[in-house]
Amino acid sequence: MTVLEREPSIAAHQTSHNSGVLHAGIYYAPGSLKARMCVAGAAATAELCERHDVPLERCGKVIVARDESELAALDELERRGHANGVAGLRRLDAAQIQELEPHCRGGAGLHSPQTAIVDFAAVARALAGELREEGATIVTGTPVTATARTGDGRIALRHPGGETRARFAVFCAGAWADGLATADGAPEDPRIVTFRGAYLSLNPPCGPAALA
């Protein structure tokens, strides 16, 4: 196995620039591919972290309905979570929300104790280590610029260092994955739809201590 990485190091893009949340599987429609992959992926990630002593904090999450107008949406998330097998999911009333998170107010809540946070760059480094132990080669600084099919049915991955041929390729290229897949003949759907997330940091005077 050979892994071709376009950057000088692994996890240089989305993997190390996200919220770090390891979702439990509440939001996706039961039975869908996203739901199955979310639940199975969370379990596999937790096992990987345990094997390599990567810190994983099960800090949990509370989804809050601010008033009655949002209760139906909360009901649906609770239904999906139970159908997807999310462990420990429980409904909270207003008093229980404040008991769990004193700075939060709402009419009802949904507590997911299995939701966690983790450093996904550290997860990627641990995964890379396992691949190397299994004999894989990881080549950095090698972006794939084009693909082609050879006469014997193999795929040729073209890059600045030349060409790498294989029986098959898995395109785990973040925002470029669908472009590489379609270049190799895959359908245009599904496509990756990118969006920008915004993260804010509270000034110390506005932090939890000020709200106590």
In this prediction the pTM is 0.82
List, edge to edge, every strand of the sheet that includes 21-22: 21-22, 116-118, 56-57
The beta-strand segments (E) located in the chain are 2-4, 21-22, 56-57, 61-65, 90-93, 108-112, 116-118, 137-139, 146-149, 155-159, 162-166
Sign of CA dihedral 60, 66, 69, 71: positive
- Provide the residue-wise pLDDT of the chain in tens; the chain has 212 residues: 999 999 999 999 989 988 899 999 999 999 999 999 999 999 999 999 999 999 999 999 999 999 999 999 999 999 999 999 999 999 999 999 999 998 899 999 999 999 999 999 999 999 999 999 999 999 999 999 999 999 898 999 999 999 999 999 999 888 889 999 998 888 988 888 887 777 777 777 665 554 44
DSSP count for the chain of H helices, then E strands: 6, 11
